[in-house]
Amino acid sequence: MKKIPMILLAMFTLSGCDRQEMIYSFNHVEEASVDNEVENTESVDNIQAETEQAVDITTEEPEISDVYSGPTVTLAMVGDVLLHTPVEESCQAEDGSYDFSSLFANVKDEVQAADIAIVNQEVIIGGEELGVSGYPSFNAPYEVADALAETGFDVILHGTNHAMDQGKKGITNCLSNWEKKYPDIKILGINKSQDAQDSVTVLEQNGIKIAVLNYTYGLNGIALPQDMPYAVNLLDEEKIVSDIASAREQADFVVVCPHWGTEYSLQPDSMQKKWTEIFVRNGVDLVIGTHPHVIEPVEWVTDETTGNQTLVYYSLGNYVNWTSSSGDGIANRMVGGMAEVTIGLDENGEGFITDYGVNALVTQVEQGHGGVTTYFLRDYTDEMAGKNAIIEQDANFSREYCTKLCTDIWGDLWE
C-alpha cells in the first residue's frame, strides 16, 4: 500500500516497473463533448477529441506521510464477475440447485474487513425463469445475489454492457430480487424509475460520506426500452457532470466506477483518457474502472486548472471467468485485482486518500463441481497453476506469468 500526504502535487504513473511523476494539463478540452446516444451503445468512436496532454516531468515523488490520525474508511473493490457457462455449471449441484459461494470463499475475509466493499456484477441476475445462460447473452440465477451478499459486498455495480442482455424483464427481475432479499445493499447502474436514476448513492462510515456513481459505455447494440429510458446509466457528459456536482454537495468523497475501455487491452485507450479528463476536471476523487477483462495501470492525474487530484484504476480485470477462447493472451484474462483505498478527512472536512494499493487475484478453473474459484496471487502456488485448465487454452499460463504481468502493469504497487 502507498501512503500519501494530504496534498499531492503531481500525477504518478504506476504502469510498469519504472515510475515517473507527471502533471497533466487539461485546459484544451473545455468544449469537448462525449455524449453517448442511446442507440449507439458500444462504439468508442463517439469520442471525437483526442487527448493531447501537455506534460511537465518532475524528478521526485511527494514525501510519504504517516501523520494523519483522524477517522478513516477502507474501500475495497473487485472487477468483473463474468459468469461464462462453465463457471455457472461448476456452481450447480446434481439436483440442479445453485450455490456460488465457492467463487468468493478465498477472498471473503478481505471483503468483509473493508468498510465499503464493491463488486462489478458483469451479468444481469434475472433469475432462472428467464433461463440461465452464458456468453453472449448472459443471465444468472438469483443465487448469485445470495453469494455476493453472503460474501459481504455492500455495493453491486450493474452498469455494464450486458445489463440489457435479458431486456426490460432482466432489469426488473434483478432489481426486485435485490430489493426484496437484500434491501440494505446498494445497487448501482440500473434503475427502476427516473427518480432512482437521478438520485446519488451516498454511504456513510465513521463520519465520512462517500458517494459512488456507476455508468457503462454501451449495451452491445441493444436500445434502452422506450418506456424505461432510465433503465441503465450510460456515459453521458451532461448527466455525469450533473451527478458529480450533486455528489459533491452531498458527500465528502466521490467515487466513479465506469464500465469503459477496450477489451483485452493492457493499456487505457483514448476513450478512457477522455473520460478521465472529465472526471478529474469536475472534482472526482477516485475512479475505478472495469470492462477490459484484463488489468490496466493505476495512476494519479492532476488538473492544473482546478488543482483536483484523482486516483485512477483504469481496469481491475476479471474477478472470475472461464472464456472458451484459446491462444496467446488468454492467460491475461485470469488475472484480476482488488483495489484497496483508505480515505480520511482533511482539516476542511474534505475527503482525501491516505493509503492505496492493489491486491492481485487469479481465477482457478478445473472441471467438476466447485472447480472454479479465485485466489489471491500471494496464496497461489505453482502446483495450483499446474492444475488450472486454462493451460489447455493458453500454454503460457503459470504462476510466474501472472506475477510478471502484475509487475509489468502495476510496478511495485501490487501485493
Dist CA 22 CA 24 (whole Å): 6
Structure confidence by residue, pLDDT tens digits, 346-403 = 999 999 999 999 999 999 999 999 999 999 999 999 999 999 999 999 999 999 999 9
Over the stretch 193-226, which tens digit does the pLDDT of each residue have? 999 999 999 999 999 999 999 999 999 999 999 9
pLDDT digits (tens, 9 = 90+) for 117-169: 999 999 999 999 999 999 999 999 999 999 999 999 999 999 999 999 999 99
pLDDT of residue 3: 64
Cell numbers representing residue 148 in the block: 455476493
Mean pLDDT of 59-88: 81
Neighbours of 411 (CB within 10 A): 18
- Average pLDDT in the 244-268 region? 99
C-alpha pair distances (Å), 276 with each of 29, 62, 68, 309: 12, 22, 28, 11
Contacts of 2 (CB under 8 A, 6+ apart): 64, 355, 356, 357, 413
CA dist., res. 67 & res. 6, Å (int) = 9
The predicted structure's pLDDT at residue 1: 72
For the CA atoms of 397, 399, 403, 406, the dihedral, rounded to the nearest 10 degrees, stands at 50
Task: Enter the C-alpha cell of residue 29.
Answer: 478540452
Beta bridge partners of 358: 339, 414
Return all residues near 116 (Cβ < 8 A) that are at least 6 apart. 73, 74, 75, 76, 154, 155, 203, 205, 210
Q: Provide the residue count of the chain.
A: 415
| pLDDT for 258 | 99
Contact 77, 118 (CB under 8 A): yes
DSSP-derived 3-state class of residue 22: strand
The C-alpha atoms of residue 291 and residue 311 are separated, in whole angstroms, by: 18
At 334, list the grid cell. 485470469
Amino acid identity for residue 379 in this structure: D
Q: Global pTM? A: 0.88
Query: Residue 39 pLDDT > 60, yes or no?
Result: no
| CA 176 to centroid of chain Cα atoms | 23
Domains recognised in the chain with CATH numbers: 75-410 (3.60.21.10)
Please write the tens of the pLDDT for every residue from 220-249: 999 999 999 999 999 999 999 999 999 999
- Give me the DSSP letters along 369-399: TT-EEEEEGGG--HHHHHH-GGGGT-TT-SH
Residue among 191, 155, 178 at smallest CA distance from 78: 155
**What is the per-residue pLDDT for 11?**
40
Q: What is the CA radius of gyration of the chain?
A: 20
Q: Helix, strand, coil % (nearest 5) of the chain?
A: 25, 30, 45
SS3 of 337, please?
strand
- CA dist 199 and 197 (Å) reads 6
